[in-house]
Amino acid sequence: MNRIVDITIVRPVEEADHPLLPWMPPEAPLEMPVQSLDAGRLARGRPSSSPATIGRRRALVFGTTAGLTLVAAYQLWWLLRAGGIALLEAIVLALFVPLFAWIAFSFATAVAGFVQLLRRRPSSLDIPVDGPLPALSTRTALLVPVYNEDPRRTFAGVQAVLESVVATGRGAHFECFILSDTRDPDIAAAEKGAFLALRARLGDRIGVYYRRRQDNRERKAGNIADWVRRYGGAWPQFLILDADSLMEGATLVRLAAAMERHPDLALVQTLPLVVNGNTVFARMQQFSGRVYGQVIAHGVAWWHGAEGNYWGHNAIIRTRAFAACAGLPVLQGRAPFGGSVLSHDFVEAALMRRGGWALHMEPGLGGSYEEGPPSLTDMLVRDRRWCQGNLQHALVVPARGLHWVSRSHLLVGIGHYLTAPMWAMLMLVGLAIPLQASGPFAPAGAAYAPLAYWREADPSRFLWLFALTMVLLFAPKLLGLLATLLDRRLRRACGGGWRLAAGAVLETVLAALMAPVTMYLQSRGVAEVLAGRDSGWNPQRRDDGSLPMSELLSRYGGMTLFGLGAAMAAYLVSPGLAAWMSPVIAGLVLSIPVVALTSSPGAGAWLRRRGIFATPEETAPPAILRRAAELRRGE
């Protein structure tokens, strides 16, 4: 059910059928040695593109995080200290401090990004977002790794990108490689047919090649490394496009020119905007990325400086730097921790920075797009694979010679998944403490009332700490919404102030209802990884995220029953407990209707007609999005 394929090829297409067609260019080998995590040194010297104030920027972000966390930790300690801190209270404190630091860090980053958006400062690489396109003197390879994707859809996107490149007048400086890891023979035949059709349509305006790997070792990372080792010597830089990626030709030209201007630059990561959302869930994602994601992205770029990160696609990479530094080792130990590196992008970025190269993020460049998963179910399937890959990074964090910011990227990736079980544990222990206090050894008449228990020690201090936590938790969304409202052009392109506010409220409500499901499944994913269960490698659905009722019941029926059981048990213990747990219980009990509603293209179309979750890319689609849509419809 995860495969959506439009196959029009009636028999396999082989290279022998077209002996004069250059399926691949002559090989240009480039050595790419496997790197060691046990040996290595950080190259001396700061990259020339690193901002002069980068030290102060990081001190401000991390200092704000530490200061807020210390204040909150002290307040909680004061609430717990009466009568001494027992074991359960110590566990609450131990869980609360890193979780609060997590949201304080997001808050500090969002504030920095909000200020940058208001100041409209140029990027550290001075990449112009408009004006005449620069001349180019080098060639760039566009790499499109695919794995059991819909060929019609993929090649339509590739054609739109290449036509956009040709329209810039710089087509001679770019060539495209479709790098297939597809295992399904029918899809592979369709890929070859789509490639031949694409070559016929483009003619000699731009080079396009196709290669299907027989050995899928190391998955996507191995696919890219194979190209580098066999062909990388002929292309000074390459750019990765996923099967759902689109990038405007002007953006590609500006990125290539930046690589030519900055000889110590290894990578520039753009901010792909989520587009083409049809279901409620997909439209939520594109709205969130456009409205909230901007402040986080600009804040991250501001304090990352030349120690940026890599997200695996929509990024340009210097081939020589990648070949010299990013050969991935096989991780020692048993699967799923050991073996090939799954979330390879973070590790490749860390190794290139160790080699002395600069890596930057440019969120303001524009012209970079991707599609999101159509449903919560699809997101969680993908998330399970990322969970395993990110937890693998625990073996990479202690690697010798890594820059401390690179280690922080790896730790943040790990923390993204560990926070789910930590929040669950904090909630359960926070309920257990007042339950213990109202148990059989409690004073006569003592009732179970969690909120009253926690307020009892110091009501004003408890409310102040709760308010601070909520403010920091929702501040990135509020700052993103405010930044959008203050930008007149962007506000109007998103449907105006009232529709923006309505979208923000609806997104927050739906996200809150889905949060318990996500927390439960992410916690289960962490447990599965720790138990040694591999995630596999499944193709992604792109368009329709709906599921039949039978599968909804199979996936979420147990969660619904668990929520109902928890509600009954909580009410029997105390109506106050049921009220306290109601946000989590509601998410579990309503998981089936919420997933069904948010996966519905019909409900998404209803919201679209009313301008809810609208984005500029939807209300006035750029030419490349319109062209890709036309090609996918066969026009």
Q: Tell me the pLDDT tens digit for each residue of 474-490.
A: 999 999 999 999 999 99
Across the range 548-562, mean pLDDT stands at 89
For 414, the token pair is 């790990």
% of the chain residues with pLDDT over 70: 91
What's the pLDDT at 24?
92
Across the range 567-576, mean pLDDT stands at 79
Q: Exposure pattern of 414-450 as b/e (b: 16+ CB <10 Å)?
A: bbebbbbbbbbbbbebbbebbbebbeeeeeeeeebbb
Across the range 615-629, mean pLDDT stands at 95
Question: In the predicted model, is pLDDT for residue 248 greater than 60?
Answer: yes
Q: What is the pTM of this model?
A: 0.90
Q: What share of the chain is helix, strand, coil (3-state, %, to 5)?
A: 60, 10, 35
% of the chain residues with pLDDT over 90: 68
Question: In the predicted model, is pLDDT for residue 11 greater than 50?
Answer: no
Closest residue by Cα to residue 583 from 476, 511, 477, 504: 511
Order the strands of the 207-212 sheet from edge to edge: 207-212, 174-180, 140-146, 237-240, 315-318, 265-270, 358-362
Q: How confident is the model at residue 441 (pLDDT cuts 50, 70, 90)?
A: very low
Q: Give the three-state DSSP class for 271.
A: coil
Q: For residues 247 and 254, give the distance between their C-alpha atoms in angstroms, rounded to a whole number.
A: 12
What's the pLDDT at 17?
54
What's the pLDDT at 449?
62
Q: For residues 635 and 301, give the distance between their C-alpha atoms in angstroms, rounded to a whole number.
A: 39
Question: Read out DSSP for 164-183?
Answer: HHHHTT-GGGEEEEEEE---
Number of residues that make up the chain: 635
Q: Minimum mean pLDDT among 121-130, 268-277, 285-294, 500-509: which range?
A: 121-130
Which residues is 270 bridged to in the sheet? 362
pLDDT tens per residue across span 47-89: 999 999 999 999 999 999 999 999 999 999 988 887 678 888 8
Phi, psi of 429 (to 5 degrees): -70, -35
Question: CA separation (Å) from 97 to 65, 431, 466?
Answer: 11, 18, 14
Q: How confident is the model at residue 336 (pLDDT cuts 50, 70, 90)?
A: confident
pLDDT tens per residue across span 153-189: 999 999 999 999 999 999 999 999 999 999 999 999 9
Half-sphere exposure of 148 (CA within 13 A, CB side): 14
What's the pLDDT at 1?
36
Across the range 521-530, mean pLDDT stands at 87
pLDDT tens per residue across span 278-287: 999 999 999 9
For 82, the token pair is 């009466």
For 196, the token pair is 């031949």
- DSSP strand pairing (140-146 vs 237-240): parallel
Across the range 373-388, mean pLDDT stands at 87
Kind and range of the H or E run holding 398: none
Q: For residues 623 and 163, give the distance between their C-alpha atoms in angstroms, rounded to a whole number.
A: 11
Q: How confident is the model at residue 513 (pLDDT cuts 50, 70, 90)?
A: very high
Which residues, at least 6 apart from 440, have a Cβ–Cβ distance to it below 8 Å? none
Q: How confident is the model at residue 4 (pLDDT cuts 50, 70, 90)?
A: very low
Which residues, at least 6 apart from 241, have a Cβ–Cβ distance to it below 8 Å? 142, 143, 144, 157, 158, 161, 247, 313, 314
What's the pLDDT at 122?
66
Q: For residues 217 and 467, give the distance between their C-alpha atoms in angstroms, rounded to a whole number.
A: 50
Strands (E), 128-173: 140-146
The number of helices, as runs of H, and strands, as runs of E, in the chain is 22, 10
Q: Minimum mean pLDDT among 114-118, 278-282, 370-374, 571-575: which range?
A: 571-575
Q: What is the residue-averaged pLDDT of the chain?
A: 89
Q: How confident is the model at residue 546 (pLDDT cuts 50, 70, 90)?
A: confident
Question: In the predicted model, is pLDDT for residue 542 greater than 70?
Answer: no
For 332, the token pair is 């020692």
- DSSP strand pairing (265-270 vs 358-362): parallel
In the numeric block, the tokens 């399926």 are attached to 23
What's the pLDDT at 444?
45
Determine the straight-line distance between the first and last CA of the chain, rounded to whole angstroms.
27
Q: How confident is the model at residue 273 (pLDDT cuts 50, 70, 90)?
A: very high
Q: For residues 332 and 240, give the distance between their C-alpha atoms in angstroms, rounded to a whole number.
A: 28
